[in-house]
Amino acid sequence: MTTTTLAPTATALRGRRLPKWAPIAIAALALALAAALVHGAGLGGWVLTLTVGALLYLTGLYAVATAVEGRRAARNRTWSALIHSAFVLAVLPLSSVIWTLVSKGAERLDGTFFGTSMNNIGPRDATGGAYHAIVGTLQQVGIAALISVPLGILAAIYIVEYGRGRFANTIRFFVDVMTGIPSIVAGLFVLAFWVLIVSPYVNDGRPGYSGFAAALALSVLMLPTVVRSTEEMLRLVPAPLREGAYALGVPKWKTILRIVLPTALPGIVTGVMLSIARAAGETAPVLLVAGGTAAINFNPFEHNQSSLALFVYSQATDSSKYAPARAWTAALTLVALVLVLTIAAKLLARRNRLGR
Amino acid sequence: MAKRIEAVGVTAYYGSFKAIEDINLAVEPKTVTALIGPSGCGKSTFLRSINRMHEVLPGARVDGKLTIDDQDIYDPDVDVTAVRRTIGMVFQRPNPFPTMSIFDNVVAGLRLNGVKKKSILAEAAERALRSANLWDEVKDRLGKPGAGLSGGQQQRLCIARTIAVEPQVVLMDEPCSALDPISTLAIEDLMFKLKDRYTIIIVTHNMQQAARVSDRTAFFSIDRTGDPGRLIEYDATQKIFSNPGVKKTEDYITGRFG
């Protein structure tokens, strides 16, 4: 008796399943069908074939799975296929960008590019390099980070740990507003305020275009990103950790410095690196307030400076047939620079944590 | 070392909400006092007002008089950090500092209060870990992260961290509620040991635990949700559990209430 009552439930747990090769077979069929359709009708190339193939695969998979496995399993298969295709769609542009950068940027990846500037390089010269632009980017982003990272972290600490009531809310609101400032507006602000009004006092009455002015504009752009990401990270630090430190008689400022900040450090580093990456890629403010130059200028406080992003812009719009190669290599250098900085920062942040 | 705690007319608020009202009780040195009562009756609030942890929350404040050996804890001239160093606290959930090793966790209180000498720190760490019955389990891995220990070990690590700064009173807010029976037993044993040197006040929901570990028991209760918690009865644990003076206490202890 027991066996007969148990039997239906036991078998109900098992259902018919599609064999492992079935989705692959459906995909191959869908592709073949799509190719036949697209090429047979003479409509277009492989992009359309892939798109039609993907749609055919999704419908085919749903139909076959419904027939064999039932509706629930079919929906599960279709949704996971959709999510995987969304992932592929998201990765495609990224890998395309990297491939384009590497393949086109490799042409001028030589010592001359990293060792010389564009000084006295005419339209017919195949040489020339971005040494001056690399120096400019490193100095400007470095100074901007020196300004905005401490300021941003302190502001976030104020908002999370000390700020109460309307004042803190107002600050948070304006930080949000600042996040949306277009970079050209930040550049114009520094142009109007620093270059045209303040700097003439120390520059014999002439407006002082400089790398430092560019750094000021970049720090205006970096500040809200640093504040917001640090704020989020500080909020994630559990309250019991703070209370644990208070209960040991540790003063509040020391609790923040020695317990809260170290706990939130990896996240803060990520936020700071995001802001640095954004600043390193800005062209407009640098063009406005540093002016750009073809020569090497190691002094960020005097005379025009260039930057990698500005170098890419000027080379991409240059009429020389050698300019595009320089632009691509500069773009590749910029991406590699940000990548190296990010990896270095992550490693540093991890070194502070204990190994498990 | 251990000190006497006395509360006279203590009332605590969260903003405009009155959490406890008119609490009067005295805790003798070198005893274990248990605070029991239904959830929301203000035991934890009262406990947190003893070492001024209550005011950490925005809008929270305390009225009335709380003294430790006749020194007013809420005197305007009193340094909060000194109060908290004198009156240590162990929390419901173990909260070791995640970025620190076991050793660093134990000496965190000393180090963050300015003790730098390695020999002193090492000695204090061993003493605290031995007092917390944890030394034998962790002595070979003091450099490993504190968060990698089991729940019971983490809680004993937090107790070690608390007694490393040599407080005179130790407050415990349901220290065993997140632990299994074996770890709970380890911590109860520890309380017996610590009683020789410290005044201990413990909040617990576990009545057997209160009966096992405490010398005196205070029963808190509320009439309705939203009303402030009150101290209903405070007496020797033996008396509270065998022959309580108030009907409400008896109802709670025998499980007819709450």
Q: Is the pLDDT of residue B1 over 60?
A: no
Domain-terminating residue out of A86, A107, A128: A107
Domain-terminating residue out of A107, A123, A148: A107
Domain-terminating residue out of A57, A80, A107: A107
Q: Would B258 be classed as within a structural domain?
A: no
What residues make up the domain containing B90?
5-253
pTM, rounded to two decimals: 0.82
The DSSP letter of residue B53 is: -
Domain holding A178: CATH number? 1.10.3720.10
Q: Would A1 be classed as within a structural domain?
A: no
Contact: B58, A263; criterion CB under 8 Å: no
Closest residue in chain A to residue B54, using alpha carbons only:
A243
Asked if B154 is an interface residue toward chain A (Cβ–Cβ < 8 A), one would say: no
Domain holding B188: CATH number? 3.40.50.300
Task: Give the total number of structural domains in chain A.
Answer: 2
Give the one of A242, A254, A263 whose C-beta lies nearest to B112's C-beta: A254
**Which residue type sits at B110?**
L
Asked if A250 is an interface residue toward chain B (Cβ–Cβ < 8 A), one would say: yes
What is the DSSP annotation of A215-240?
Answer: HHHHHHHHHHHHHHHHHHHHHHS-HH
Residues of A in contact with B84 (CB under 8 A): 246-249
Say whether both A24 and A144 belong to one domain. no
B178–chain A nearest CA distance, Å: 14
Say whether both A313 and A284 belong to one domain. yes
Give the one of A241, A244, A356 whose C-beta lies nearest to B145's C-beta: A356
Q: Would B218 be classed as within a structural domain?
A: yes
% of chain B exceeding 90 in pLDDT: 46
Say whether both A230 and A159 belong to one domain. yes
pLDDT digits 0-9 by tens, B140-166: 999 998 888 988 899 999 999 998 998
pLDDT number for residue A334: 93
What is the DSSP annotation of B64-106?
Answer: EEEEETTEETT-TTS-HHHHHHHEEEE-SS----TTSBHHHHH
Beta-carbon count within 10 A of A128 CB? 22
Q: Would A7 be classed as within a structural domain?
A: no
Query: Quick one: which of B65, B116, B200, B50 has its CA closest to A247?
Result: B50
Suggest the residue from B53, B80, B95 to mutate for an interface test with chain A (most A CBs closer than 10 A).
B95
Asked if B158 is an interface residue toward chain A (Cβ–Cβ < 8 A), one would say: yes
Low-confidence residues of chain A: pLDDT under 50: 1-6, 354-356
What is the DSSP annotation of A12-34?
Answer: HT------THHHHHHHHHHHHHH
CA distances from A132 to A119, A211, A213, A305 (A): 9, 12, 17, 8
Q: Would A2 be classed as within a structural domain?
A: no
pLDDT digits 0-9 by tens, B20-41: 999 999 999 999 999 999 888 8
What residues make up the domain containing A82?
16-107
pLDDT number for residue A47: 85
Interface predicted TM-score of the whole assembly (ipTM), two decimals: 0.89
Residues facing B12 on adjacent strands: B20, B62
CA B213 to chain CA mean position, Å: 13
**Which residue type sits at A291?**
G
Phi-psi region of B125 (alpha: psi -120 to 50; beta: other; left: phi over 0): alpha
Scan residues 62-81 of B and list those with Cβ closer than 8 Å to A.
Answer: 81
Say whether both A87 and A203 belong to one domain. no
Measure the CA–CA gap between A104 and A330, rounded to whole angstroms: 11
% of chain B exceeding 70 in pLDDT: 98
B257–chain A nearest CA distance, Å: 31
Q: Which residues, other chains included, contact A156 with Cβ-Cβ below 8 Å and sequence gap of 6+?
A: A226, A227, A228, A230, A231, A234
Task: Give the total number of structural domains in chain B.
Answer: 1
